[in-house]
Amino acid sequence: MQITKATYLISSPSVDKCPKPDRPEYAFIGRSNVGKSSLINMLCNNSKLAKISVTPGKTQLINHYTIESTTAKSNKKTSWFLVDLPGYGYAKRSQQQRKQWSKMIEDYLRKRKNLLNIFVLIDVRHEPQKIDLEFVDDLGEWQLPFAIVFTKADKEKPGAVERNVKSFFEKMREKWQFLPRYFITSIITKQGKEEILDFIDDCNKAFSNS
């Protein structure tokens, strides 16, 4: 699948203000500085679409982008929403802002009817972090579909990437019976780009056939 057009649509303070849920939707979330804007820009072939590292933690809004894509085989155009969610782990957020964030995110994730998958981004350079594991546990408790995207793979040796991925899943296995789908990515080598787009394409097809 190729993205042929990606345009910013709207930023919403709550799920009820989000655009009409009339097409498939995919959300991207992770802790600050994980590489979320970079990944979105890589997927969309647009270096300026999502703003890279602007005032971390300041914007607590649900950001919708309208995407048009085509598949190599059919050339058929599909339209879907990509959502850039404000992440967790911003040191500068006040207690009040954290509460607001939690409520907005939980409401959005649990109520958004067209949300087909949540991509949880994790920096592959780190050992498993409590904050990421807790977020993933919440998604499990809420029974929401998600995949893990390990970012910045080019910054580590392949052995270290493998080790950190493995130890993340070992931690998850303490509580989880099934492990999620995962992708290893880099904006430098473009690793993982095709796989994520193909996965979205498959979900889009399942949505249009349902």
Q: Which tokens in the block code for residue 136? A: 């993933």
Burial 103-136 (b: 16+ CB within 10 A, else e): ebbeebbeebebbbbbbbbbbbebebeeebbebb
Shorter beta-carbon distance to ligand GDP: residue 80 or 119: 119
Q: How far apart are alpha carbons 3 and 44 in whole angstroms?
A: 6
| Residue 124 near residue 165 (C-beta atoms within 8 A) | yes
Shorter beta-carbon distance to ligand GDP: residue 11 or 71: 11
* Min CB(203)–ligand GDP separation in Å: 23
| Residue 129 near residue 31 (C-beta atoms within 8 A) | yes
Task: Give the number of other Cβ atoms within 10 Å of residue 53's Cβ.
Answer: 11
Shorter beta-carbon distance to ligand GDP: residue 53 or 208: 53
* Min CB(39)–ligand GDP separation in Å: 7
Shorter beta-carbon distance to ligand GDP: residue 38 or 204: 38
Shorter beta-carbon distance to ligand GDP: residue 51 or 205: 51
* Min CB(204)–ligand GDP separation in Å: 24
Q: How many CA atoms lie within 13 A of 157 on its CB side?
A: 3
* Min CB(159)–ligand GDP separation in Å: 17
> Residue numbers of the site for ligand GDP (CB under 6 A)?
30, 32-38, 52-53, 151-152, 154-155, 186-188
* Min CB(131)–ligand GDP separation in Å: 14
Residue nearest to ligand GDP (CB): 35
